[in-house]
Amino acid sequence: MVTTVLSQSGQEVLLKVVDLPFMNFAACLFSIPQAINNKVKSTATHFFWRGKARHNKIHWLSWNCISQSKDKGSIGLRDPTLHNKALLSKVAWRLFVVPDVPDSVWDVLMKSIYFSKVDFLEAKVGSNPSWAWRSIIQGREVLKASLIWRISDGSKMNIWKDNYVPTLLGFKIGM
């Protein structure tokens, strides 16, 4: 039986560098189920609080406390659910920003399959979409919540529903 001889700081570094980023590859294209995210949180919490022996120890702080940023006095572990949403919105941003000059074959493929006749923000989920496309649509919803219109002629904009006033809470008039 192997016992860990890491201090709590060493365990924190191990969690940040090895354990929690392990899901990045899958999380950047697929929505990870909440049950898996909860298991990752549980495993990380148990590893962090267990001490040098493999005995169960008291969890002095909850996951919500240890996943706060270091600015707030916590250790700054990433919440896998929020990190997954951030990675999916990054993929959605790439499809949104570079519609006419695709960077890769993947961009061309996604556009031709799912939104060849409409803008990315107007694309529908479809009748039989892939798991990747459903996940990107989830990322798009996160992206849409923070996008603001830059008004030119206003022909595509709805002043009551669209975000366009950066100084107002919610970015719109008709709340």
Tally the residues of the chain: 175
**Least confident stretch, 44-53, 80-89, 122-131, 138-147:** 44-53
pLDDT averaged over every residue in the chain: 76
76 vs 139, higher pLDDT: 139
In the predicted model, is pLDDT for residue 155 greater than 80?
no
Q: Label residue 76 left, alpha or beta by phi (over 0 means left) and psi (-120 to 50 means alpha).
A: left
- How confident is the model at residue 168, as a pLDDT? 64
Q: Label residue 157 left, alpha or beta by phi (over 0 means left) and psi (-120 to 50 means alpha).
A: beta
- How confident is the model at residue 35, as a pLDDT? 93
Q: How far is CA 167 from the centre of its chain?
A: 26
The pLDDT tens digits of the residues spanning 140-154 come to 998 888 776 666 666
* Alpha carbons 105 and 31: distance in angstroms, whole number: 22
In the predicted model, is pLDDT for residue 175 greater than 70?
no
* Alpha carbons 97 and 143: distance in angstroms, whole number: 11
161 vs 114, higher pLDDT: 114
- What is the average pLDDT across 159-165? 67
- How confident is the model at residue 2, as a pLDDT? 43
Q: Where are the domains of the chain?
A: 8-78, 83-146
The pLDDT tens digits of the residues spanning 13-70 come to 777 776 667 777 788 888 889 998 888 888 777 777 775 555 666 667 777 777 777 7
* Alpha carbons 8 and 96: distance in angstroms, whole number: 42
In the predicted model, is pLDDT for residue 83 greater than 80?
yes
- What pTM was computed for the model? 0.72
With contact defined as beta carbons under 8 Å apart, do 79 and 22 qualify? Answer: no
B/e letters for 84-105, b = 16+ CB within 10 Å, e = fewer, are bbebbbebbbbbbeeeeeeeee
